[in-house]
Structure 1
Amino acid sequence: MIDSIANMLAHVKNCSRTRKVLIYIPYSKFKFNLSLAFERYRFVKRVSLLRYSINRSEILIELAYNGYHNMIQDIVQVSKPGQRIYWNKKQLRVKRQIGIYFLSTSSGIKTNLDPTCVGGEVICNLV
């Protein structure tokens, strides 16, 4: 079984390190919402959806750079298919100073910095 989220995160990390500007990723609703969350916190400059036909779509991600430095230093996948990690509100307060954690909640993708987040499955950590 291929973990498509791990594939997406590795692709973004590798393209960020090689200083590519545009990334094309196969479309899924979850990956698109995760990319929009990256855009909301200014890790990527722009996210758009490219529809070629009814059955084929891609996500176009434009990476953001601050001068010569990448906005994405490292991405670590926390929750994996074999071991799902869930945090509650108490655990989120402890992890505030160690990067931004993206969580999948019942109300969409939130971060540990969001005051309305009450917990959920931890997807990844962006530094």
Structure 2
Amino acid sequence: MISSVANMLAHLKNCTRIRKSPIHIPYSKFKLNLALAFERHGYIKKVSLLRYNTNRSEILIELAYSGKYNMIQNVVQISKPGQRIYWRKNHLRDKHRVGVYFLTTNNGIKMNLDPTCVGGEVICGLV
């Protein structure tokens, strides 16, 4: 069984490779917050919520491009349902880590380069 976050990340990766935009993803509160975090840091152009009725909603994502290049080159899921990965503050700014990582914290979803991030569960990385 594949998790819904893994499904979202695989969908983003595949759509950036074929330059498809907009993308429709099934709604969940966590996936919406993750997409809004990507938008806040400039990896996604626009995120909106489409409500069809009380039981069915979708997230509409427009990808961001810099010229002819995608802002999201490769997205990797780090923490999985069977194995959760947690980082403390000293692991966040390790010189050997390449890329940007998104973590869940008490204050919402943060990026590892954010100075207010003190650690949490690592969701995914853009490497």
Q: TM-score range by the shorter chain?
A: over 0.9
- Aligned equivalents of 1:86 and 1:19: distance in 2? 32
Deviations 1:9-48 (A, max 9, x none): 0000000000011100000000000000000111110000
1:6 aligns with 2:6: yes
2:70 is aligned to: 70
> What TM-score, normalized by structure 2, do the two folds share?
0.96
1:22/1:95 Cα in 2 relative to 1: closer, same or farther (>3 Å)?
A: farther
Matched residues, percent identical? 72
1:121 is aligned to: 121
- Aligned equivalents of 2:64 and 2:4: distance in 1? 23
Q: Which runs of 5+ in 1 are unaligned?
A: none
> What TM-score, normalized by structure 1, do the two folds share?
0.96
RMSD of the alignment, in Å?
1.2
- Aligned equivalents of 1:49 and 1:75: distance in 2? 22
1:93, distance to aligned residue in structure 2 (A):
1.7
Q: Aligned partner of 2:36: which letter? A: L
Q: Aligned partner of 2:112: which letter? A: N
1:68, distance to aligned residue in structure 2 (A):
1.0
Q: Which runs of 4+ in 1 moved over 2 A?
A: none
Q: Which runs of 5+ in 2 are unaligned?
A: none
- Aligned equivalents of 2:100 and 2:35: distance in 1? 14
